[in-house]
Amino acid sequence: MSIIIRAAVAADIDTIHAFILALADYERLSHAVKADRDMLARYLFGPRPMAEVLIADHGGAPVGFALFFHNFSTFEGRPGLYLEDLFVLPQARGLGAGKALLARLAALAIDRDCARLEWSVLDWNEPAIAFYRSLGARPMDAWTVQRVDGDALAALSASARPRC
Protein backbone atom coordinates (compact mmCIF):
# COMPACT_ATOMS: atom_id res chain seq x y z
CA MET A 1 0.00 0.00 0.00
CA SER A 2 1.23 3.46 -0.81
CA ILE A 3 0.74 6.79 0.89
CA ILE A 4 -1.94 9.02 -0.63
CA ILE A 5 -1.74 12.76 0.04
CA ARG A 6 -4.97 14.70 -0.29
CA ALA A 7 -6.32 18.12 0.60
CA ALA A 8 -8.40 18.03 3.76
CA VAL A 9 -12.12 18.78 3.57
CA ALA A 10 -14.53 19.98 6.25
CA ALA A 11 -15.50 16.36 7.03
CA ASP A 12 -11.88 15.84 8.23
CA ILE A 13 -12.28 18.19 11.23
CA ASP A 14 -12.35 15.37 13.80
CA THR A 15 -9.26 13.80 12.24
CA ILE A 16 -7.39 17.12 12.14
CA HIS A 17 -8.30 17.83 15.76
CA ALA A 18 -7.16 14.35 16.81
CA PHE A 19 -3.82 14.86 15.04
CA ILE A 20 -3.35 18.22 16.78
CA LEU A 21 -3.99 16.60 20.16
CA ALA A 22 -1.59 13.74 19.36
CA LEU A 23 1.09 16.21 18.24
CA ALA A 24 0.65 18.27 21.40
CA ASP A 25 1.01 15.13 23.49
CA TYR A 26 4.21 14.17 21.61
CA GLU A 27 5.62 17.68 22.10
CA ARG A 28 4.62 17.68 25.79
CA LEU A 29 2.33 20.64 25.13
CA SER A 30 -1.13 19.16 25.67
CA HIS A 31 -1.84 21.87 28.25
CA ALA A 32 -1.40 24.53 25.53
CA VAL A 33 -4.08 23.30 23.09
CA LYS A 34 -7.01 25.71 22.87
CA ALA A 35 -8.22 24.73 19.40
CA ASP A 36 -11.55 22.92 19.22
CA ARG A 37 -13.46 21.50 16.27
CA ASP A 38 -15.64 24.61 15.78
CA MET A 39 -12.62 26.92 15.81
CA LEU A 40 -10.78 24.71 13.31
CA ALA A 41 -13.82 24.52 11.01
CA ARG A 42 -14.12 28.32 11.02
CA TYR A 43 -10.47 29.04 10.28
CA LEU A 44 -9.77 26.15 7.92
CA PHE A 45 -13.03 25.85 5.97
CA GLY A 46 -15.02 29.01 6.73
CA PRO A 47 -15.64 31.99 4.45
CA ARG A 48 -12.03 33.22 4.83
CA PRO A 49 -9.73 30.22 5.37
CA MET A 50 -6.51 31.11 7.19
CA ALA A 51 -4.64 27.86 6.60
CA GLU A 52 -4.76 24.64 4.62
CA VAL A 53 -4.32 21.02 5.62
CA LEU A 54 -2.99 17.99 3.78
CA ILE A 55 -3.87 14.51 5.00
CA ALA A 56 -1.69 11.44 4.47
CA ASP A 57 -3.74 8.26 4.03
CA HIS A 58 -2.39 4.72 4.16
CA GLY A 59 -4.63 1.76 3.54
CA GLY A 60 -7.67 4.02 3.51
CA ALA A 61 -6.95 5.48 6.96
CA PRO A 62 -5.44 8.87 7.85
CA VAL A 63 -1.94 8.50 9.31
CA GLY A 64 -0.61 12.07 9.25
CA PHE A 65 -1.24 15.69 8.46
CA ALA A 66 0.44 18.96 7.54
CA LEU A 67 -1.11 22.33 8.36
CA PHE A 68 0.33 25.26 6.42
CA PHE A 69 -0.33 28.80 5.21
CA HIS A 70 1.19 31.46 2.97
CA ASN A 71 3.63 34.05 4.16
CA PHE A 72 5.51 36.66 2.14
CA SER A 73 9.19 37.48 1.74
CA THR A 74 9.85 41.16 1.21
CA PHE A 75 13.42 40.40 0.11
CA GLU A 76 12.32 37.79 -2.43
CA GLY A 77 9.22 39.76 -3.40
CA ARG A 78 7.32 36.47 -3.52
CA PRO A 79 5.12 34.36 -1.29
CA GLY A 80 6.30 31.36 0.66
CA LEU A 81 4.67 28.45 2.44
CA TYR A 82 4.99 28.13 6.19
CA LEU A 83 4.47 24.68 7.64
CA GLU A 84 2.91 25.17 11.05
CA ASP A 85 2.58 21.51 11.98
CA LEU A 86 3.55 18.14 10.55
CA PHE A 87 2.62 14.97 12.39
CA VAL A 88 2.60 11.28 11.54
CA LEU A 89 1.15 8.70 13.90
CA PRO A 90 3.95 6.77 15.67
CA GLN A 91 2.77 3.43 14.26
CA ALA A 92 2.92 4.85 10.72
CA ARG A 93 6.42 6.34 10.92
CA GLY A 94 8.79 4.80 8.43
CA LEU A 95 6.09 4.34 5.78
CA GLY A 96 7.06 7.55 3.97
CA ALA A 97 4.10 9.70 5.04
CA GLY A 98 6.25 12.54 6.38
CA LYS A 99 8.36 12.69 3.24
CA ALA A 100 5.25 12.46 1.04
CA LEU A 101 3.63 15.38 2.92
CA LEU A 102 6.76 17.52 2.60
CA ALA A 103 7.17 16.59 -1.07
CA ARG A 104 3.56 17.65 -1.76
CA LEU A 105 4.16 20.92 0.09
CA ALA A 106 7.28 21.51 -2.00
CA ALA A 107 5.26 20.85 -5.16
CA LEU A 108 2.56 23.28 -4.00
CA ALA A 109 5.24 25.87 -3.28
CA ILE A 110 6.61 25.50 -6.81
CA ASP A 111 3.12 25.52 -8.36
CA ARG A 112 2.23 28.69 -6.43
CA ASP A 113 5.49 30.45 -7.34
CA CYS A 114 6.67 30.47 -3.73
CA ALA A 115 10.28 31.33 -2.99
CA ARG A 116 10.56 28.86 -0.12
CA LEU A 117 9.03 26.38 2.28
CA GLU A 118 9.96 26.85 5.90
CA TRP A 119 9.04 25.70 9.39
CA SER A 120 10.26 25.55 12.96
CA VAL A 121 11.24 22.45 14.92
CA LEU A 122 11.75 22.04 18.65
CA ASP A 123 15.48 21.91 19.36
CA TRP A 124 15.14 18.69 21.39
CA ASN A 125 13.38 16.80 18.57
CA GLU A 126 16.51 15.17 17.17
CA PRO A 127 14.70 12.50 15.10
CA ALA A 128 12.72 15.21 13.27
CA ILE A 129 15.81 17.38 12.79
CA ALA A 130 17.74 14.44 11.31
CA PHE A 131 14.80 13.64 9.03
CA TYR A 132 14.57 17.26 7.80
CA ARG A 133 18.34 17.39 7.17
CA SER A 134 18.06 14.21 5.09
CA LEU A 135 15.62 16.06 2.82
CA GLY A 136 17.92 19.05 2.36
CA ALA A 137 16.51 21.39 5.02
CA ARG A 138 18.98 23.69 6.68
CA PRO A 139 18.79 25.57 9.98
CA MET A 140 18.46 29.33 10.06
CA ASP A 141 20.94 29.71 12.90
CA ALA A 142 21.11 33.49 12.84
CA TRP A 143 17.35 33.81 13.47
CA THR A 144 15.41 33.54 16.73
CA VAL A 145 11.62 33.16 16.77
CA GLN A 146 9.84 35.97 18.61
CA ARG A 147 6.27 35.86 19.92
CA VAL A 148 3.82 38.27 21.50
CA ASP A 149 0.65 36.67 22.88
CA GLY A 150 -1.85 36.83 25.75
CA ASP A 151 -1.64 39.91 27.95
CA ALA A 152 1.41 41.24 26.10
CA LEU A 153 -0.50 41.08 22.79
CA ALA A 154 -3.47 42.91 24.33
CA ALA A 155 -1.19 45.56 25.82
CA LEU A 156 0.67 46.12 22.56
CA SER A 157 -2.62 46.38 20.69
CA ALA A 158 -3.98 48.88 23.19
CA SER A 159 -0.93 51.09 22.72
CA ALA A 160 -1.89 51.54 19.04
CA ARG A 161 -5.34 52.93 19.79
CA PRO A 162 -5.77 56.71 19.69
CA ARG A 163 -6.03 58.34 23.12
CA CYS A 164 -9.23 60.32 23.86
Q: What is the pLDDT of residues 147-164, one digit of tens each?
A: 898 999 999 998 886 755
pLDDT, the chain, mean: 94
Q: What is the CA radius of gyration of the chain?
A: 17
Q: For residue 155, how many other CB atoms are within 10 A of its CB? A: 10
Dist. CA 128–CA 25, nearest whole Å: 16
3-state secondary structure of 55: strand
| % pLDDT > 90, the chain | 87
Q: Where are the beta strands (DSSP E) in 27-139?
A: 52-58, 61-73, 78-88, 117-119
Burial class of residue 152 in the structure, from the number of CB atoms within 10 Å of its CB (0-12 exposed, 13-18 middle, 19+ buried):
exposed
Say whether domain 3-158 belongs to CATH 3.40.630.30.
Answer: yes
Q: What is the pLDDT of residues 71-114, one digit of tens each?
A: 999 999 999 999 999 999 999 999 999 999 999 999 999 999 99
Dihedral angle at the C-alpha atoms of 138, 142, 147, 148, nearest 10 degrees?
Answer: -160
Long-range contact list for 123-128, CB < 8 A, 24+ apart?
125/27
* pLDDT reading at 144 higher than 90: no
- List, by residue number, the catalytic residues: 132
pTM for this model (two decimals): 0.92
- The pLDDT score that the predictor gives to residue 145 is 86
Q: What is the DSSP letter of 141?
A: T
Q: What is the pLDDT of residues 7-58, one digit of tens each?
A: 999 999 999 999 999 999 999 999 999 999 999 999 999 999 999 999 999 9
